[in-house]
Amino acid sequence: MNKPYVRLDKDNVMVLLVDHQTGLLSLVRDIEPDKFQNNVLALADVAEYFKLPTILTTSFEDGPNGPIVPELTQKLPDAPYIARPGQINAWDNSDFVAAVKVTGKKQILIAGVVTEVCVAFPVLSAIAEGYEVFVVTDASGTFNAMTRDAAWTRMVAAGAQLITWFGVACELQRDWRNDVEGLGRLLSNHIPDYRNLITSYKRDRG
């Protein structure tokens, strides 16, 4: 059964960046490392550009998962940072859930490592509590395409929507005229081909 089009609303959405940790990143094989890093940082830039409440979380940093990728805390210094002592599902951590609820937002953009665990588990938990959840697929990573696709299928069956960081940026922007320079700069910083487009646009306008 087809579901109605639910748009991302910049006034009602938060971003959850789950377990982008140095140890876990070594497990990501379904996307090239440089592209994956670019996509994660692009999503962080989207969150910053649209002033979206953003929560960073890690699991068992003292173990093999390792510390959070430093670029995220540098880019989002004011974001709540929940270092979970061991809970695999971030939703099992009361501090994390409290940070989510205090935002007052009902839409969730989520990305993390690895897709079938660190992303899927809180996605399913959030949906069960009535949130609209959008999984940013290209800022999430895992072992291979088979495990990724299984996770996507499971989350979609529960009601999650799959989207990319570029789709997020454009759906939140709604209209180029809202800020052509700002959005163009954000996209250009993360998509080389788009930089060519914007360069051409600026040249043609003198």
Q: Which residues have a catalytic role annotated? A: 118
Counting every residue, how long is the chain?
A: 206
- What span, in angstroms and rounded, lies between the C-alpha atoms of 201 and 16? 34
Residue 71: name the closest of 99, 38, 46 by CA: 38
Phi, psi dihedral angles at 159 (to 5 degrees): 120, 0
For residue 70, count other CB atoms closer than 10 A to its CB: 9
- What span, in angstroms and rounded, lies between the C-alpha atoms of 13 and 4? 18
